[in-house]
Structures are given as C-alpha cells and as structure tokens.
Amino acid sequence: MPAGGAAARGRQRALLSWLLHERWTHPRLGRLLEKLQPYEESLPYDSDEASLIRVARKQFERESRVPAAFMETMTRHFAATYQAWSKARPADDFSKVEPYLEKTLEYSRQYARYFEPDHLADPLIESFAREGLKAEEIRSLFSRLRSELVPLVRQVVEQPIADDSCLRQSFPEQQQWDFGLRVIERLGYDFSRGRQDRTLHPFCTKFSVGDVRITTRLKENRLGEALFCTIHESGHAMYEQGIRMELEGTPLARGTSSGVHESQSRLWENIVGRSRGFWEHFYPQLQETFPEQLKNVSLDTFYRAINKVEPSLIRTAADELTYNLHVMIRFDLELDLLEGKLAVKDLPEAWRERYKRDLGVFDPGDRDGVLQDVHWHFGTIGGMFQGYTLGNILSAQFYEAALKAHPEIPDQIRGGTFDTLHGWLRENIYQHGRKFTAAELVERVTGSPLTIDPYVRYLKQKYGELYSL
C-alpha cells in the first residue's frame, strides 16, 4: 500500500469492524440464538448446525460484553500506535511509543474487565487467539517447556556451531521464487485457489475458502529465507483452503485458534520442511537449480545449515529450538504488565534482562529489542504471543498422531509424496474450521489433552542426533 493510503484504510477497517460488531451484538441475533437452543440440543454436538449455533452464541456473548464505542476508541488508538511504532523503531527510540503503550495497557485491562475474569489475560487470549486455555494453564505449560528447553539449548550451544555459509552465497531471486512454488505445489497448496506475492513481512491472507493467498520475502544472499517463509505461509493457507466448502460464509469457515493455526505453519515448515527425509527428496532438485553454488555442498552440510542453532536477538530470525524462548519472554512480560508487576517505562530494561538470562544475548538498543515486534503496537497487550509456542507444541502432537495412523508418512516424505499427511490433516483438522475449540480438537485428534511431551521428544531426537548429544 502506498504511504498515502494508511489513514483512509484505518478508517475503512474501523468502519467494517464497527459494522461487524453491530451485527454480532444485535439483540435479534441473541433472540434467534435463544430460539435455536432446543434445535441445537436435538443435534449431534459435532454436526455443522449445532456447531454453528454454539460458536455463534459464544461470539455473540463475547462481543456483547464490550461496548461498541469502547471498541471503536481502542481500534482508533491502535492505528495511532502503529504509526508511532513505525517511526520509533527505525529511530531506536522507545520513548516515542511509551505513552501509546501506556494507553494500550490501560485499554487491554479495560477490555478484560468487561469479562470479570480470573486473570486479566484470559479474555484477551480468548478473544484474540481463541486458544481455549487460561493464562495460568499456559503459564504452567510454558514453565515445563522452559525447564526442558533451557538445558537442551545449553547443551547444543556448547557444541561447535553449525556452518551455514553454504546458504550465504548468491542465489538469483527468480530461481528461489520458482523453487518455492514448486515445493508448495507438491505439498498440496492449491494455486487455483491462491497465489504468492512478494512483501517485506510474509503473511497469509484469506478472502474466501476459494482464495487464500500468501506472501514471501526474498534475499539473494540468503537461501532458505524465501523457501521457509513460503512453506510456513503455505501451511497456514492449506489449513484455510482445507475447510469444507459447506462451511463457507459462516463463522465456522476459519481456523480455530492462533495456536492450531501456527501448528500447521510450523508442522510444514519445521517438522516436514527442515527434516532430513524432506531434503533427501528435494536437495538434488535444489542442487540442479543452483549447480554452481551447491555442487560441493553435501546433503548433510545443507541439512545442518538449515537447522543451525544460535541464540540471537530477533524472534522472527530465530531457529526452531531457541524460538520458543523468545515467545515465552513476551508472554511473561505481557502477564507482568497486566498484573501491574511491571511498568511500561521499565519494559526495555526487563526485556534486556530476560534476553540475557534466557538466551545469553545482549543489545543495548531497543530497535532489535522491545521494539522488534509489531504486535503490541497494533493490538492489545495480552493474547498476542502464546499462539506461536502453543503452535510448536501442537505441531508435534498432531504429527505424532498422524504417524500413529500412517507409519508410512516419513517414507513417503523421503519419496516427495505428501498426500497421506495432507489428507490426514485435512480430514482431522482442516475441514472442521472453527467447529471445535483448540482443546476439543486436540482431544478428538490425538486422544489426549494438549501436552508438551511429543514436542520435547521431537526436539530431543532431532537435535540430539544433529549435535550428537
């Protein structure tokens, strides 16, 4: 979007939100939902109709708690905050966003209070991520994960660092682009219902089940940047493309939670796309695409390069293993801010301290510190980050269930075939859209509640092997 379009887009988005909110909170909708209750109870829980009524009622109740005027004020504030952040970050100047963040925190608390919650983060997590989990549950889940991750990262970091210089040669952008498209077509991304464009910050956007688009970024001297972004976004997109057409146009036609959504981008990007088997199939093709650059690079060297572990400052550039430490820092800081244990003015310092403690890295500036992510600067404080790590946890839990049903999947991946895995995911997760909460879905699909065990097993096995621990 050209710079001049920002103000009007803000107004247009605010109008659409307002129209949507108006409809979601219309008393007639409430009366209709009430009238439908006996019908809903006469139907199986997992039928489309019962699910539609159930999910719509939940949203009606949630949206009705928050006054439209408050939502409008808060949304307008977000637009101003985003503007401030986009200037503050390049200037490395936290003070430019501080007053905005103060207000954001105030609004986030006010929003939460409309729900009279146990923890102020609960309604934020529910409204903006629909995880179906309380803040305390996530906190204890994350604390267990941290106690597994920190020693594992420490062990890995003590080993010689992987050499990824093979990825830092010159790789013409057009070939990178074409290779990425070929890969995701193979994974099952449907180009008759999507397309890829180029941006600075990759994302997946959906206009309908029939039009789910992705973007990627390209760097000539960084092989993998484009490819893994492309695979990541195609994971989000295949989830949305896989929703049953019958649900189109209803509130059910979208992914169920931030965490489950992220589980699909991470499953395809990391568990599949950074696996050795995947590259046993694709690496020869990649070498053919870049013969000069890769002819003397073995599969093993390449595989180690794309799985290099190195604690760093930037979340979006982090490796699979340290990534969760970035997320958990943010989650904890969100809770501290909401609970009043941490003041906005002390946030940069708290950020630096946690990075030093958890990741062993330090940077005196804020640009690549507390200002690095956009999330708190266009939305609430609370509910914004936990989905990334929940997604990692879920990706392994789902994948383990898929392997249990189809032990042949790893062999198929080695052969460049993804139909069984994609089919299983579509059948068990994608097609349902938002019919089930994340918690219901994980129970239905894996037979157990959300658990970190498969993820920890996956990481220990993969990185144990890679670093001969």
**Interacting residues with its own copies (CB under 8 A):** 1-9, 11-12, 19, 190-195, 207-211, 213, 248-249
Q: Is 102 a catalytic residue?
A: no
Residue closer to its own copies (CB basis): 178 or 248: 248
> Residue 244 Cβ, how far from its own copies at the closest point, in Å?
14
**Nearer Cβ to its own copies (168/193):** 193
Cross-strand bridge partners of residue 215? 197
Q: CB atoms < 10 A from the CB of 122, how many? A: 22
Nearest-approach distance from CB 214 to its own copies, in angstroms: 11
Taking the complex as a whole, the smallest distance from the CB of residue 1 to its own copies amounts, in Å, to: 6
**In whole angstroms, how close is the CB of 226 to its own copies at the nearest point?**
20
Pick 192 or 468: Cβ nearer its own copies: 192
| 375 burial level (CB within 10 Å; 0-12, 13-18, 19+) | middle
Q: Given the complex with its own copies, which of 1 and 69 has the nearer CB atom?
A: 1
Contacts of 410 (CB under 8 A, 6+ apart): 275, 277, 403
Residue 249 CA from chain centroid, whole number: 24
Nearest CA among 262, 297, 268 for reference residue 283: 297
Q: Given the complex with its own copies, which of 189 and 283 has the nearer CB atom?
A: 189
Alpha-carbon span 416 to 412, nearest angstrom: 6
- Is 220 or 408 the residue whose CB approaches its own copies more closely? 220
- Cβ of residue 24: shortest distance to its own copies, in angstroms? 15
Contact status, residue 406 vs residue 424, Cβ threshold 8 Å: yes
**Least Cβ distance, residue 50 to its own copies (angstroms):** 24
**Which lies closer to its own copies via its Cβ, residue 8 or residue 343?**
8
Which of 208, 206, 226 has the alpha carbon at shortest distance from 217?
226
| Smallest distance, its own copies to C-beta of residue 249, A | 7
Closest approach of its own copies to the CB of residue 20, in Å = 11
Q: Which is nearer to its own copies, 210 or 340 (CB)?
A: 210
3-state secondary structure the chain: CCHHHHHHHHHHHHHHHHHHHHHHCCHHHHHHHHHCHHHHHCCCCCCHHHHHHHHHHHHHHHHHHCCHHHHHHHHHHHHHHHHHHHHHHHHCCHHHCHHHHHHHHHHHHHHHHCCCCCCCHHHHHHHHHCCCCCHHHHHHHHHHHHHHHHHHHHHHHHCCCCCCHHHHCCCCHHHHHHHHHHHHHHHCCCHHHCCEEECCCCCEEEEECCEEEEEECCCCCCCCHHHHHHHHHHHHHHHHHCCCHHHCCCCCCCCCCHHHHHHHHHHHHHHHCCCHHHHHHHHHHHHHHCHHHHCCCCHHHHHHHHCCCCCCCCHHHCCCCCHHHHHHHHHHHHHHHHHCCCCHHHHHHHHHHHHHHHHCCCCCCCCCCCCCCCHHHCCCCCCCCHHHHHHHHHHHHHHHHHHHHCCCHHHHHHCCCCHHHHHHHHHHCHHHCCCCCHHHHHHHHHCCCCCCHHHHHHHHHHHHHHCCC
Q: Which two tokens stand for residue 48?
A: 């489309």
Closer residue to its own copies in complex, CB, 24/115: 24
Catalytic residue of the set 233, 262, 320, 334: 233
Distance between CA 180 and CA 231 in Å, rounded? 8
State in angstroms the smallest separation of the CB of 242 from its own copies: 13
Q: Which residues are catalytic?
A: 233
